[in-house]
Each structure stands twice: as structure tokens, then as C-alpha cells.
Chain A
Amino acid sequence: MTETLTTTEKPAHTRRMILNMGPQHPSTHGVLRVLLELEGETVMKCTPDIGFLHTGIEKQCEALNWQQVITLTDRVDYLANLSNNLCYSLAVEKLLEMEIPPKAQWMRVLLCELTRINSHLVWLGTHALDIGAMTVFFLCFREREDILRIFEMFSGQRLMTSYIRVGGLALDPPRGWEKRVKTFMDTLPSRVDEYESLLNTNPIWLKRTKGVGLLPVEEMLEIGMTGPCIRAAGIPMDARKMMPYSSYDKFNFDVPTSTDNDVYARYAVRVAEIRESIKIVNQAMAGMPEGPVQAAAPHVVLPDREKMKTQMESLIYHFKIVTEGFSVPAGEVFQVIESPRGELAYYVVSDGTAKPLRVHMRTPSFGNLQALPNLIEDRMIADSIAIMGSLDFVLGDCDR
């Protein structure tokens, strides 16, 4: 985990200082430890030290039934729970060769876009706070609260939703959800204008973000960066467009890109993505299909409570799913989706039993964080805070 930094063999006139940043530093957004080797205010060497939030989720997945793993996927990336639910569900559904009803697919898109807005709002608030713009933080968290209330309305949980399940959704959408989401969507565009009015002309913000955090785009791809960071470097890499899942091909939206490749460009791309997400949510609400939200697969989807109590067959299925789970045909699937942070992929391997043989999460934060030394070495220490914030990593997502 740690690497010992050798500080001997230095010329006498340079004095290098080793600064230990984290794991409780507020701008590391979680429990990241970064060892910085400084010469004056210049970072000469940077060594990220991760693993403080490693909770063995991949190991636990192997001990649980297929449907129980959903609850663990929530805990991988606690700002994009529904994206993780969706990615795992899609992977298992692919192995089961299961058809998902259109209403469930559209609801999934709607919820994942709300998740994206939620995640970007938290990112914008905390990133602006790191750089010293405090007001934005309060405004972003005001809107985030609305989204969490919507999630609570759907699933009963603000954070650990587990609402997207294998075979569809956990429950029918609650009564009155359209009004709630619509009210929020009507106010959000003006709120995004408000954030931009606070930042886009703010001289401190511009000085700290423009021209900071540059890296050649080939190097970014090579080191494994994805998501808004790579789109801010001019590559329109977005799994929603490149390999559409869950009916994303039926929605009309753009992939915002920029070619500036600095911290400001990453901010601009994310704000533009919030606006695109608003467009997608509005389209999903306008064209929401009718019908069930769960696939007609009684051996996988838990039966309705009422049916379970009155029909023999449903009772048997319920008993079988709850006690031994359902088995998934042997095979392997690498399911890629676009999480708010970038390419999220679940590599799920089944050996034909009721428990996964292997669930590997290729998480965007792990890939993005690997680029940290390339981004902040030979730059000023104050810039390192802005650069770290611009990567938008979540340590739960990174360490798993």
C-alpha cells in the first residue's frame, strides 16, 4: 500500500519536504492519502495511497445470492447508487437473456439521470468549496436534497436505494411521482444558471481553474481516464451513445465536450451534462410507456405480495427465490455503462449456480485516480487541490 519515499542522495542546497495529505484532509473527498514531495511550493513527486475504504465488496458478492448482491452495489459508489444497481442488473439480465419491459427501462433512464444530476451537484458544491467559493456549496446541496427526497419517495431510502433490481424495478413508482419530479425539473434550469452566474465570471475561480491540470489526451486514455475528464479533452467517449443500454438510443441528447482539457473545461462539461440530463428526464417523463415495471419471469422476480398470499404457484416461487435464490446460466458478461464519473463496468462470471462466481467492478474513480501523479507532478501545491477536485473521485468507488 505505502511506498517508502527515499529522500537521501539529494544535493545539499535543495531541501525536499514530504507532506502527508490525508487520509482526513477535507479536499481529498473521502479517505485518500497522498504523499507529496515538495521543493518549495512545487510538487516533485506524488504518491497516492488508497485502500482505506476497501471493504471487500467483491469478496462478499461471492458469498451472496444473485439478488442479494444488489444491496452491495449501492455501497460501491455512494453518490451513484442507482447507476451501480443498473449496471449489475443489466449484466445479470444479459446472462439470463431477459427482456425488460419498456416502462422499467424508461424509469431506469430517468432515475439514472437524476443520479447523474445529484452526483454532479455534490461534485460542483464540494469542488467550489475547495477552491474557496462557499455559496455554491449551499445552493447545490439545496437542490440535492430535492433529489434525495425523490429517491426516498421511490424507494424509501435516500442513499442506499436498491431500487433497480434484476428483472426491472423493486416496486411500482409511487403515486404522484410525476408531479414531484416535474416541479423539480421546472426549477432546476434556473438554479443551474444561478451556479454559473456565481462562477463563470468570478475572477478567483477563473484564475484557479483555467489552464490548470493539463495532460496530453493520449496519455489520459493510456492511463485509464474516462468520463467528463476525457470528454473535456475532446474525446466524445460516452457509453450512452457508443453502446446504448436501457433504451438510451431512443433519447435525444448531446454529449458535451471541450478541447481545453483544464479544470475549467471539466467544470464546464459537467454543468453542460446537468443540462443534458434535464433534457433526458423531461423526455422520459413526456414519453413514459404504460405497462408493468417487472419482467414476466416468475423464477427471478419476486411475486406480488397479494398474489403470494392467495396463489399457490406464486407462493412456491416466492419460497424458492427467498430460500435458494435463482440460478444464472454459466457465462461471463462485461457490462459497460456511463456512470456520472465515467466508464463503470461490471464483469460478472457465473458458473450456473445461485451465487456469482466473480463480480468485478471496473470503477471510474480507480482509473481516474491513477492519473493523479501525472496531473500534479511539477505543478504548484495549490493547484493540486483544484486538480484533485476536478477528477471527481469517490473513494468508496475506488477501493470497493
Chain B
Amino acid sequence: MLPENLKENAVAASLEHLVLTGNTDHNELTLELVPEKILGALRILKEQRFERLASVTVVDRYPMEPRFEVVYHLQSVSRNLYVRLKCRISGEKPEIDSATAVYASANWYEREVWDLFGVVFTNHPNLTRIMMPDFWEGHPLRRDYPVHGYKYSYQNE
């Protein structure tokens, strides 16, 4: 359900049937939706001249559940607008559809998210590590991963 104050907003209204909730805190439009609807929402936004996907990232709310918030920032250059889409997914089986089918630039951003958070993007053309070495175990940007890693610990010295 779209909050009352967003019904006037053209971008939010066009996604009304997909959106769970939304806000315009700090003058930034945020729309939250269920993970299954993300590709549909991206397609609708692309038709509305949101030419570029500026970034894909994740906020880890560990130990809350569902812990991962997948965050998409889209920009419409011709309309000079930004919009943020957000999907919450659980830590049990972190999976979401890949946005590469709609925006090519999602490719590296999703690889980065997979590498650092372990969120799986289904139907991604090449979901491999991009920042960490290939042999790395674990996903370092998760909140339950220690800052100094597992191998080298200051506490053991």
C-alpha cells in the first residue's frame, strides 16, 4: 500500500500495484517492494525514462531478520530524478532476481554484492568474485564477519 503523501508522486503512483511502502525522507523517494516484483518494477521505471541504474548495494541489518536490504538507485537523466528501490530478503536463503536483464550496468554491482555479502542473483551471466581473491571464503561485508578477518586476530596475539 502506498502512503497517502506519495499518491501525488508520478513515479510512485506508476508502481502503486507493486509497492509495499515508501517515503520521501530527506527529499529522496524510497519505495519498498517484495523481492519477486523487482524485475517488473525496474522494467516499468525503464519505460519511464529512468535510463540508468546508478548502483546496486546491500545493507546488512544483522541480527534483524530479514537481514539483507537490497538497494537499487536509479536515475532519470532527462527528467533529473533519482529513485531508490528496496527489497528485504532473509539471511537463510539470500536470493533475488538479477537486474542484468533490464540494466546492463547491474552486472558488476551484483558481482560485488555477491562477493562481499553473499546475496545470490539468479540468472546473472557471470556471478563470480570481483573484489576478493577467487579462493576467498566467506563474505567480508556481512556484519557478523570480523573487521580483521578470521585468520589474523589481534586478540590471539
Distance (Å) between the CB of A9 and the closest chain B CB?
19
Distance (Å) between the CB of A80 and the closest chain B CB?
18
Distance (Å) between the CB of B69 and the closest chain A CB?
9
B104 contact set on A, CB distance < 8 A: 219, 222-224
Does any Cβ of A come within 8 Å of B30's Cβ?
yes
> Which of B37-45, B76-84, B90-98 lines the interface with chain A?
B76-84
Does any Cβ of B come within 8 Å of A246's Cβ?
no
Q: CA–CA, A2 to B129, complex, Å?
A: 8
Q: CA–CA, A94 to B28, complex, Å?
A: 11
A357 contact set on B, CB distance < 8 A: 59, 61
Give the contacts of B23-82 with A (CB-CB under 8 A). 25-26, 28, 30, 51-55, 57, 59-61, 71, 73, 77, 80, 82
Binary interface profile of A, 201-240, with partner B (CB < 8 Å = 1, else 0)? 0000000000000000011011110000000000101000
Are A95 and B147 in contact, with the CB atoms below 8 A? no
Are A362 and B105 in contact, with the CB atoms below 8 A? no
Does any Cβ of B come within 8 Å of A332's Cβ?
yes
Does any Cβ of B come within 8 Å of A30's Cβ?
no
B71 contact set on A, CB distance < 8 A: 347
Please give me the residue from chain B that is nearest to A371 by CB atom: B105
Does any Cβ of B come within 8 Å of A185's Cβ?
no
Q: Range of interface residues on chain A?
A: 35 or more
B141 contact set on A, CB distance < 8 A: 58-59
Please give me the residue from chain A that is nearest to B107 by CB atom: A370
Are B73 and A362 in contact, with the CB atoms below 8 A? yes
Please give me the residue from chain B that is nearest to A58 by CB atom: B141
Given contacts A222-B103, A223-B105, A224-B105, contact A60 B147 (CB under 8 A): yes
Give the number of A-B contacts (CB < 8 Å). Answer: 97
Residue in contact with A51 in the complex, picked from B52, B77, B103, B131, CB distance below 8 Å? B131
A1 contact set on B, CB distance < 8 A: 128-134
Does any Cβ of A come within 8 Å of B156's Cβ?
no
Does any Cβ of B come within 8 Å of A345's Cβ?
yes
Does any Cβ of B come within 8 Å of A291's Cβ?
no
Give the contacts of A359-389 with B (CB-CB under 8 A). 360, 362, 366-367, 370
Are A224 and B132 in contact, with the CB atoms below 8 A? no
Q: Range of interface residues on chain B?
A: 35 or more
B52 contact set on A, CB distance < 8 A: 221-222, 224
Please give me the residue from chain B that is nearest to A97 by CB atom: B26
Are A235 and B130 in contact, with the CB atoms below 8 A? no
Does any Cβ of A come within 8 Å of B5's Cβ?
no
Are B55 and A242 in contact, with the CB atoms below 8 A? no
Does any Cβ of A come within 8 Å of B126's Cβ?
yes
Are B108 and A360 in contact, with the CB atoms below 8 A? no
Are B51 and A222 in contact, with the CB atoms below 8 A? yes
Are A63 and B147 in contact, with the CB atoms below 8 A? yes
Given contacts A51-B132, A95-B26, A347-B55, contact A56 B77 (CB under 8 A): no
B105 contact set on A, CB distance < 8 A: 222-224, 367, 370
Are A59 and B126 in contact, with the CB atoms below 8 A? no
A contact patch SS: mixed
Does any Cβ of B come within 8 Å of A37's Cβ?
no
Does any Cβ of B come within 8 Å of A243's Cβ?
yes
Are B51 and A399 in contact, with the CB atoms below 8 A? no
Are A347 and B53 in contact, with the CB atoms below 8 A? no
Q: CA–CA, A349 to B71, complex, Å?
A: 11
Are A334 and B28 in contact, with the CB atoms below 8 A? yes
Are B147 and A334 in contact, with the CB atoms below 8 A? no
Are A3 and B131 in contact, with the CB atoms below 8 A? no
Binary interface profile of B, 114-156, with partner A (CB < 8 Å = 1, else 0)? 0010000000001011111110000011010101000000000
A51 contact set on B, CB distance < 8 A: 129-133
Q: CA–CA, A2 to B77, complex, Å?
A: 33
Binary interface profile of A, 1-16, with partner B (CB < 8 Å = 1, else 0)? 1110000000000000
Please give me the residue from chain A that is nearest to B149 by CB atom: A56
B77 contact set on A, CB distance < 8 A: 221, 235, 237
Are B80 and A362 in contact, with the CB atoms below 8 A? no
Are A360 and B51 in contact, with the CB atoms below 8 A? no
Distance (Å) between the CB of A10 and the closest chain B CB?
21
Given contacts A1-B129, A1-B133, A58-B141, contact A349 B59 (CB under 8 A): yes
Q: CA–CA, A277 to B105, complex, Å?
A: 30
Distance (Å) between the CB of A110 and the closest chain B CB?
26
Distance (Å) between the CB of B154 and the closest chain A CB?
12
Does any Cβ of B come within 8 Å of A189's Cβ?
no
Q: CA–CA, A349 to B126, complex, Å?
A: 29
A366 contact set on B, CB distance < 8 A: 108
Are B131 and A331 in contact, with the CB atoms below 8 A? no
Are B53 and A224 in contact, with the CB atoms below 8 A? yes
3 cross-chain pairs, A with B, having the tightest CB-CB distances, nearest first: A224-B105, A362-B55, A54-B131
Since A62-B143, A332-B84 are in contact, a sample of 5 more A-B pairs with Cβ atoms closer than 8 Å, ordered by chain A residue number, is A1-B128, A1-B129, A60-B147, A347-B55, A362-B54
What are 5 A-B contacts with C-beta separation under 8 Å?
A: A58-B141, A59-B145, A224-B105, A243-B80, A347-B55
